[in-house]
């Protein structure tokens, strides 16, 4: 079946370095993607989103890249800080035109980011 | 902002008892709320979609009689785990949508431990 997955289950980086977290999706009908950050024992926190008509979007210290050709999504975190340590999930929405509904997201498996001081 | 409050944060109960978890949208009206379940080191799995004033839509494999969902108002949805068993122990998370905004706003989650 179609699913959202991640290439790397864990990622360890040095404080100050840049982090790249990858996500592969297989549903070509997906038109909206979100990255969430989840700290231990807490609910997911929105980081950044991107629509399928874009290939790049930047936020504060974060950038999301979308490559529709290979169905690949990535999250780049600049100057990674200890507070960035968490599990990161990508999520996709196939959109109402294809049977999806607003907010009905499919989540990937997650990547645990550990930042070494 | 769009704040979603979930209560309680954690609960321990005996096997066979029922537990109610509340999800409130504090500063907006949420026509749709979602309930997720998350096991340790795993992703969020959608359990059901809750629409105000109508019956919830459950995902395949989720027992509607065991996981009762009530969405009586535009700011409150509740999930009741009936006759809880140890295998129901999990992290339950709710989320809500705000009209005109596609992203989800999540509650802080409820850790349920059934003894």
**Measured between alpha carbons, how far is A114 from A10 in angstroms, rounded to an integer?**
8
The whole-number pLDDT of residue A102 equals 53
The whole-number pLDDT of residue A1 equals 34
Taking only the tens place, the pLDDT of each residue in B25-40 is: 998 888 889 999 998 8
**Measured between alpha carbons, how far is A2 from A5 in angstroms, rounded to an integer?**
10
A99 interface with B at CB cutoff 8 Å: no
Pairing of strands B19-25, A86-93: unpaired
Taking only the tens place, the pLDDT of each residue in B43-69 is: 899 999 988 888 899 999 999 999 999
The whole-number pLDDT of residue B22 equals 97
Structure tokens at B61: 């494999």
Average pLDDT rounded to a whole number, residues A4-32: 84
The whole-number pLDDT of residue A99 equals 45
**Measured between alpha carbons, how far is B110 from B93 in angstroms, rounded to an integer?**
6
Confidence of residue B11 (pLDDT cuts 50, 70, 90): very high
Residue B17 has pLDDT above 90, yes or no: yes
A45 interface with B at CB cutoff 8 Å: yes
Taking only the tens place, the pLDDT of each residue in A62-107 is: 999 999 999 999 999 999 999 999 999 999 987 654 444 555 688 8
The whole-number pLDDT of residue A105 equals 82
Task: Judge: B44–A109 Cβ closer than 8 Å, yes or no.
Answer: no
Say which residues have a Cβ less than 8 Å from residue B47's Cβ, sequence separation at least 6.
Answer: B35, B36, B37, B58, B59, B62, B67, B79
**Measured between alpha carbons, how far is A55 from A36 in angstroms, rounded to an integer?**
18
Chain A from 23 to 42: CB within 8 A of any B CB = 32, 34, 36, 41-42
A-B C-beta contacts closer than 8 Å: 59
């Amino acid at each position: 079946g179609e699913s959202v997955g991640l290439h790397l289950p864990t990622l360890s980086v040095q404080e100050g370095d840049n982090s790249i977290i990858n996500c592969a999706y297989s549903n070509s009908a997906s038109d909206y993607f979100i990255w969430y950050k989840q700290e231990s024992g807490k609910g997911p926190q929105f980081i950044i989103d991107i629509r399928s008509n874009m290939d790049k979007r930047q936020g504060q210290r974060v950038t999301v890249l979308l490559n529709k050709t290979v169905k690949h999504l990535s999250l780049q975190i600049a100057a990674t800080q200890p507070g960035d340590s968490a599990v990161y999930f990508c999520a996709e929405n196939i959109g109402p035109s294809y049977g999806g509904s607003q907010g009905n997201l499919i989540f990937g498996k997650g990547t645990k980011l550990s930042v070494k001081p | 902002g769009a704040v979603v409050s979930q209560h309680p944060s954690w609960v321990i109960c005996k096997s066979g008892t029922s537990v109610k978890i509340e999800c409130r949208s504090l500063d907006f009206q949420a026509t749709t709320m979602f309930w997720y379940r998350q096991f340790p080191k795993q992703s969020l799995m959608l359990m059901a979609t809750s629409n105000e004033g109508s019956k919830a839509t459950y995902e395949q494999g989720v027992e509607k009689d065991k996981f009762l969902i009530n969405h009586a108002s535009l700011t409150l949805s509740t999930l009741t785990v009936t006759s809880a068993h140890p295998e129901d122990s999990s992290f339950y998370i709710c989320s809500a949508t705000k009209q005109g905004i596609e992203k989800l706003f999540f509650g802080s989650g409820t850790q349920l431990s059934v003894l």
